[in-house]
């Protein structure tokens, strides 16, 4: 690896171990085995490097969960089974990627003081939502349409809430079955369509 790749790897390690706000430039340089000057040369600032590392780590999480979800979708018979299995697989990834989710929550809490991060995260919203719509339907990609965007927005809201609840207490975090029951109840009450909720 070159210095740039070493810096990204070091920054990701620091995000997982120390979080977004507590990571210093020296921490990253030490983890990467390079000089402090290399951060400025390759990324311009520590913040730009951390933002790039956050996006790369999020992409890696997305690839891991996508593979797990596709495997679950192949075993599912009904859309309901796929929905439950998908959320179960998503929850399983939180164990390995706990540091990423904790760092993201920390970074979002500081977003008013980090306009660069706001720009990076906001710029990725549409593609992230479309990717979630595809993932939950067991597809590689979906059309860039307003319908798929709306569906992805719904899934993103569930995912963010799920991650926060899991970080607070994994034992009380929602299950795929609970998500399905909530979806059925919300559909019945909002749309006025009675559904049979499993006991």
State yes or no: pLDDT of 96 exceeds 80. yes
What distance in Å separates the CA atoms of residue 185 and residue 198, rounded to the nearest whole number? 11
Domains: count for the chain: 1
Residue range(s) defining the domain that contains residue 74: 51-191
Please write the tens of the pLDDT for every residue from 98-127.
999 999 888 888 888 878 778 877 878 888
23 part of a folded domain? no
Cα-to-chain-centroid distance, residue 74: 22
Token representation of residue 66: 């996508």
- Assign 162 a pLDDT band (cuts: 50, 70, 90): very high
160: domain CATH number is 1.10.357
Please report whether residue 171 resides in a domain: yes
Mean pLDDT of 156-163: 93
Cα 189 vs. chain centroid, distance in angstroms? 29
Does residue 199 carry a pLDDT above 60?
A: no
| pLDDT at residue 28 in the model | 96
**Confidence at residue 115, expressed as pLDDT on a 0 to 100 scale:** 81
Q: What is the pLDDT of residues 25-39, one digit of tens each?
A: 999 999 999 999 999
- Over residues 16-22, the mean pLDDT reads 90
Whether residue 108 is contained in a domain is answered as: yes
Q: Is the pLDDT of residue 137 over 90?
A: no
From residue 177, how far is each of 55, 62, 112, 123, 146 by CA, in Å? 30, 22, 36, 33, 28
Burial 170-181 (b: 16+ CB within 10 A, else e): eeebbebeebbb
Q: Is residue 69 part of a domain?
A: yes
CA pair distance 196, 184, nearest whole angstrom? 8
Query: Is the residue at 169 inside a domain?
Result: yes
147 burial via Cβ count (<10 Å: 0-12, 13-18, 19+):
exposed
């Amino acid at each position: 690896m070159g210095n740039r790749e070493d810096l990204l790897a070091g920054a990701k390690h620091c995000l997982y171990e120390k979080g977004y706000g507590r990571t210093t430039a020296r921490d990253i340089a030490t983890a990467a085995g390079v000089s402090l000057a290399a951060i400025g040369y390759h990324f311009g600032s520590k913040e730009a490097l951390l933002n790039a590392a956050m996006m790369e780590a999020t992409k890696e999480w997305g690839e891991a969960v996508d593979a797990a979800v596709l495997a679950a979708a192949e075993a599912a018979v009904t859309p309901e089974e796929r929905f439950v299995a998908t959320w179960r697989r998503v929850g399983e990834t939180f164990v390995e990627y706990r540091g990423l989710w904790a760092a993201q929550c920390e970074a979002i809490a500081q977003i008013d003081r980090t306009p660069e991060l706001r720009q990076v995260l906001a710029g990725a919203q549409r593609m992230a939502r479309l990717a979630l719509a595809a993932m939950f339907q067991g597809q590689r990609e979906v059309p860039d349409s307003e319908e798929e965007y709306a569906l992805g927005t719904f899934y993103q809201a569930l995912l963010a809430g799920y991650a926060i609840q899991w970080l607070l207490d994994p034992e009380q975090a929602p299950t795929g079955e609970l998500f399905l029951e909530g979806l059925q109840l919300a559909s019945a009450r909002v749309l006025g369509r009675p559904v049979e909720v499993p006991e």
